[in-house]
């Protein structure tokens, strides 16, 4: 039986850890939130007083923290890496810039331990239902060592490459597409508004045509609402398209569409809409073009 240390028991991490418990893994968790630790215990897991304590004697250390800086803090300053047994595997499942993942992996490797770069997509719903998409990169044997854990968390587990950083890049590319797809729906709706086209009919037509996207069908209806429920905030794409553009800088790739889309999310956040639903990037277009 694989022993898992799980650090980061937030909206994604807690249901993921719970799924591991449900599938027979021994899970020791750590989070700054005592409430999260209580919830893990209720689900049958063990609580640790620190990330290092959680990592001690684990076979796989899952990091589902907020960003690369937190992952570094947990692993290095926090001592979790040292506490991990020498043949243990670090599964970095948080969304991080590809270059940051490469740097972290190098430091992990220097200690003789292994890292698998394994970001996820599918959101909280996918975390709960164990239907996450997992985009893992690292040497095949490292991937194989972590695969039982991944299979308990998602139903679309891909080995995307041999080099850590490649998983983060696939996730980055995923966010590039998602962010631009949201922004372009807003751009299209803002143009249609100029000549008084009924946006509900427009959305119905576009949803069934070659112009359709997953985001058009999901975010489009919420763009027509003045104050939609927040399913994912504007500031998430301020961050994620920021990671996309950082990846472009690190690899020296010009990304004109992602850059333009990022500006619209950034402006929305700057006007005070950072916590609004990300569909409300359309307000940037209305502000820019003076309509509605």
Active site residues: 171
Query: Token pair for residue 172?
Result: 């980055």
* 156 is a contact residue toward a second copy (CB under 8 A): yes
Among 72, 187, 240, 278, binds a second copy (CB under 8 A): 187
Distance CA 193, CA 185 (A): 12
Sign of the CA dihedral running 229, 234, 239, 245: positive
* 202 is a contact residue toward a second copy (CB under 8 A): yes
Q: What is the DSSP letter of 34?
A: H
Among 73, 173, 224, 236, binds a second copy (CB under 8 A): 173
Backbone angles phi, psi at 275, to 5 degrees: -95, 0
End-to-end CA separation in angstroms for the chain: 59
* 282 is a contact residue toward a second copy (CB under 8 A): no
Binding segment toward a second copy, per CB under 8 A, in 26-34, 62-70, 83-91, 152-160:
152-160
* 128 is a contact residue toward a second copy (CB under 8 A): no
Q: How far is the CB of 181 from a second copy (least distance, A)?
A: 6
Residues 221-280 close enough to bind a second copy by CB under 8 A: 244, 247-248, 251-258, 260-261, 263-264
Radius of gyration of the chain (CA): 20
* 218 is a contact residue toward a second copy (CB under 8 A): yes
Q: Is 167 exposed, middle or buried (0-12, 13-18, 19+ CB in 10 A)?
A: buried
Residues 49-88 close enough to bind a second copy by CB under 8 A: none
Q: Which is nearer to a second copy, 51 or 68 (CB)?
A: 68
Binding segment toward a second copy, per CB under 8 A, in 45-53, 54-62, 141-149, 193-201:
193-201
Beta 120-121 vs 132-137: how paired, if at all? Answer: antiparallel
């Amino acid at each position: 039986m694989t022993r898992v240390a799980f650090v980061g028991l937030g909206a994604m991490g807690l249901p993921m850890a719970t799924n591991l418990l449900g599938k027979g893994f021994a899970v020791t968790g750590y989070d700054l939130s005592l409430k999260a630790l209580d919830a893990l215990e209720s689900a049958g897991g063990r609580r640790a007083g620190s990330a290092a304590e959680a990592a001690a004697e684990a076979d796989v250390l899952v990091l589902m923290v907020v960003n690369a800086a937190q992952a570094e803090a947990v692993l290095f300053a926090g001592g979790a890496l040292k506490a991990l047994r020498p043949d243990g595997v670090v599964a970095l499942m948080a969304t991080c810039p590809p270059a940051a993942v490469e740097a972290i992996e190098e430091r992990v490797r220097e200690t003789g331990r292994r890292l698998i770069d394994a970001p996820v997509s599918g959101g909280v719903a996918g975390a709960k239902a164990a239907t996450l998409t997992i985009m893992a990169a690292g040497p095949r044997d490292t991937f194989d060592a972590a695969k039982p854990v991944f299979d308990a968390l998602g139903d679309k587990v891909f080995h995307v490459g041999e080099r850590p950083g490649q998983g983060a890049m696939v996730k980055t590319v995923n966010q590039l597409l998602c962010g631009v797809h949201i922004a372009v729906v807003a751009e299209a709706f803002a143009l249609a508004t100029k000549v008084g086209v009924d946006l509900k009919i427009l959305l119905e037509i576009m949803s069934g045509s070659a112009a359709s996207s997953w985001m058009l069908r999901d975010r489009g209806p919420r763009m027509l609402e003045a104050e939609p429920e927040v399913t994912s905030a504007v500031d998430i794409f301020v961050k994620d398209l920021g990671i996309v553009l950082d990846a472009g800088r690190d690899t020296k790739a010009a990304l004109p569409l992602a850059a333009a889309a990022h500006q619209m999310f950034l402006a929305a956040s700057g006007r005070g809409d950072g916590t609004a639903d990300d569909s409300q990037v359309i307000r940037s277009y209305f502000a820019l073009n003076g309509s509605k």
